[in-house]
Structure 1
Amino acid sequence: MRLLTRYGEVEVHTLPGLLKVSGPTVRRDLALMEEKGLLLRSYGKIAAARQGAEMPVSFRHARNTEAKQRIGALASSLIPRRPLTVALSGGSTVRFVARHLAGRPDLTVVTNGLDTVGSLLSRQLVRVVVTGGQARPLSNDLVGRGAERTLRSYRFDFAVIGVDGISPEKGLTRHSVRGADVDRAMLEQADHTIVVADSSKFGRVHRAKIVDAAAVHTIVTDSHAETTTVAKLRERGVTTTLVVVPPRAPEAAPRTG
């Protein structure tokens, strides 16, 4: 999916060498990804089904892992060590925030993220409240009126959410309208708001707006974030903190025909 995002289309016969897997594995996985609507196959090539399509969270977990780990560690350090009630969304970056908070017996965490729940329960110290709602398979979180009702019955000291797009002009956005509604409820019920997002989300705009960028207090990202966007966010009063990550290794270009 990363190759398709960058190059648009790729010749299938180049994939075993690029991905270091067998031909049968490539064919099996491409068939599964086509069933999920992630790509199109024709005449020995594959192409993204549609530009900017949302990838399942299971794919996103493996992307920019080093940046997400460091973002999670820094964001969790912003939450003081005292009894607090915290809201956490779902998402691959918030999962790392949850891992760092899992050893905090002073916290009550309310979340709609099913992966977030697993990370919080790893040490069985945090008091965890899971919202109601309908499961959304692409993001592995709970959405809908049940989730929103649970969130609006609380007042949070901190809310930490992940997003799919960050733009100083267009605000914070997600692929899913229902997901954006839940994130907005978290932010509106919180005294302090934190957005965690790796640099690949900067400059992107998706169909579902959560809030204006200036409506949140802090954004934590990585050092590859576009400097112009970071400067504009800071001009709007958003504390934008960058964690240092190593330069990305160059990626071999596939044959695209």
Structure 2
Amino acid sequence: MTDRTRDMRISAVLALLSQRGELQVRFLPTVLGVSGATVRRDLAAMEEKGLIRRSYGKIAAARRGAELPVSLRRSQNTEAKRRIGALASSLIPARPLTMALSGGSTAGFVASSLAGRPDLTVVTNGLDTATSLMARQLVSVVVTGGTARPLSNDLVGRAAEKTLRSYQFDFAIVGVDGISPEVGFTRHSARGAEIDRIMLEQAQHKIVVADSSKLGRVHQAKIADVGSIHMLVTDSHANAEMVASLRKSGVNTTLVVIPARVKSNRIRLP
């Protein structure tokens, strides 16, 4: 089995833990449709990464709301992120310009959609973002210096901040971990939030990309107030009242259409 398939199973287990708090291990082979040996390997990997705690045939999340490795985030809400990335990239005018693009799973889909643009210079602190942008060898890519964060595969710290402050961007597109009309846009990491803040401050047009699961979440590190952002691109599963509140605050909130979830595809516990 591929790493992607394993990451999808791990994401499914984490989603169930967020709903239930704890799970009986004996149910997981049936729920996931794999063997007991595969489940044991998955749980060992999750425990090694500090994602779960195991005891007496049960598992629980190690820490509610903890930041997940970017490899796992890529397998969550993939269709929404793909459509968000395509729409956000279409907002960048077809002319020579310089833009900032953050790291993260949703920004990675923006990068994939921008990879065919020979008129762009993109400055990024995201190592995965840079790889996606360089796939077709057309975009001019500038990668900041800095200290690598393994959870997100991005660069943070003074070197990254210095690089970003040396530019004036036509556009900045950043991903976030939490969106609240009252608190603003937030991230798990204070160092990551500082990078995103600088990208937005240095840009003429400021865009946030985030799937609907981020709405209503608040994390410890604030990036910006909602009113300081020009546009939010999210998906049609977003809470309608929250979208209305964001729009009332002056954020041009655009929703990409995602087909309704099919109930029969949901993972159910016995």
Common fold by TM > 0.5? yes
Which has more helix, going by share of residues?
2
Q: Give the shorter-chain TM-score range.
A: over 0.9
**Structure-2 separation of matches of 1:86 and 1:252:** 40
| Contact residue 85 and residue 157 of structure 1 kept, 8 A | yes
* CA distance in 2 between partners of 1:141 and 1:6 (Å): 29
Aligned to 1:179: 192
Question: How many residues get paired?
Answer: 255
Other-structure match for 1:204: 217
User: What is the TM-score when the length of structure 1 is the normalising length?
Assistant: 0.97
Unaligned runs of 5+ in 1: none
Offset at 1:17? 1.3
Match of 1:90 among 92, 99, 103: 103
Shift of the alpha carbon at 1:213? 1.0
Deviations 1:62-103 (A, max 9, x none): 111110111011100111000000100001111111111101
Provide the TM-score with structure 2 as the length reference. 0.93
Give the whole-Å Cα distance in 2 for the aligned partners of 1:25 and 1:123: 36
1:115-194 aligned within 5 A: 115-194=128-207
The alignment status of 1:79 with 2:92, answered yes or no, reads: yes
1:252 deviates by 3.1
* Regions of 4+ moved over 3 Å: none
Instruction: Supply the distance in 2 between the matched residues of 1:85 and 1:48 (Cα, whole angstroms).
Output: 41
Q: Is the 8 A contact 1:171 1:213 kept in 2?
A: yes
Q: Percent identity?
A: 71
State whether residues 90 and 140 of structure 1, in contact with CA within 8 Å, keep that contact through their aligned partners in structure 2. Answer: yes
What is the one-letter code of the residue matched to 1:172?
A: F
Q: Which residue of the partner structure matches residue 252 of structure 1?
A: 267
The separation in 1 between residues aligned to 2:268 and 2:222, in whole angstroms, is 34
Q: Do 1:57 and 1:140's aligned partners in 2 also have CA atoms closer than 8 Å?
A: yes
Alignment gaps of 5+ in structure 2: 1-13
* 2:8 corresponds to: none
CA-atom RMSD in angstroms: 0.8
1:249 Cα deviation after fit? 2.7
Letter of the 1:100 counterpart: S
CA distance in structure 2 between the partners assigned to 1:93 and 1:116 by the alignment:
10
